Amino acid sequence: MDRVDRLLALVAELRAASPEPLDAAVLAERLRVSDRTVRRDLELLTHGGLPVRAEQGRGYVLPAPPEPAPLGEVASLMGPVRGTLAEAVRTRRIVRLAYTDRAGARSFRDVEAHGLVIAPYGEYLVGWCRMRDGPRMFRLDRIGAAFLSGRGAEVRDLDELLAALRVPVPRPPAEPGPRGPADPERARAWTLDRLEFVRSRLRDAAAGARRPAGQRRAGGGAGAAALRGVLGHLAEWTRWQAAAIRSAATGEEPVLAGRRPAFPPVFDRELPFDARERMIQDAMALRSLGEVARDLEEVLESVGHWAAGCDDALWAEELPDPRPYGPPGPPRPLADLLAGWRGPLAHIEWHLDRLGDEPPLPPGDDEEGVRVVDRCPLQA
What string of pLDDT tens digits covers the 380 residues of the chain? 678 888 888 888 888 888 888 999 999 999 889 999 999 998 888 888 888 888 888 889 988 777 767 777 777 777 889 989 999 998 888 999 999 877 778 888 899 998 888 765 578 898 898 888 888 889 898 899 899 887 888 888 776 676 666 554 444 444 444 444 456 777 888 888 888 888 888 888 888 766 555 544 434 445 777 888 889 999 999 999 999 999 999 999 988 999 999 888 888 888 888 888 889 988 888 888 899 999 999 999 999 999 988 888 898 888 988 887 778 888 889 988 998 877 899 889 888 877 754 443 333 333 334 444 556 777 65
pLDDT of residue 242: 94
Q: Look at residue 119 in the predicted model and tell me its pLDDT.
A: 64
For 320, the 3-state DSSP assignment is: strand
CA angle at residue 351 from 201 to 192, to 5 degrees? 45
Q: What is the pLDDT at residue 179?
A: 45
The C-alpha angle with vertex 190 and arms to 186 and 193, in degrees rounded to 5, equals 140
Q: Which fold has domain 3-61?
A: Arc Repressor Mutant, subunit A (1.10.10)
Q: Tell me, which fold does domain 184-379 have in CATH?
A: Four Helix Bundle (Hemerythrin (Met), subunit A) (1.20.120)
Backbone angles phi, psi at 241, to 5 degrees: -60, -45
What pLDDT, on the 0 to 100 scale, is given for residue 210? 64
Do 95 and 143 contact (CB within 8 A), yes or no? no
C-alpha to C-alpha distance for 353 and 376, rounded to whole angstroms: 12
Task: Identify the pLDDT of residue 370.
Answer: 41
CA angle (247 as vertex; 245, 252 as ends), nearest 5: 170
DSSP code at position 197:
H
For the CA atoms of 186, 319, 167, 290, the dihedral, rounded to the nearest 10 degrees, stands at: -110
Ranges in the chain annotated CATH 1.10.10.10 = 3-61
3-class DSSP assignment, residue 148: strand
Give strand pairing partners of 99.
Answer: 107, 143
Nearest Cα neighbor of 332 from 172, 196, 186 is 172
Topology at the third CATH level for domain 73-165: SH3 type barrels. (2.30.30)
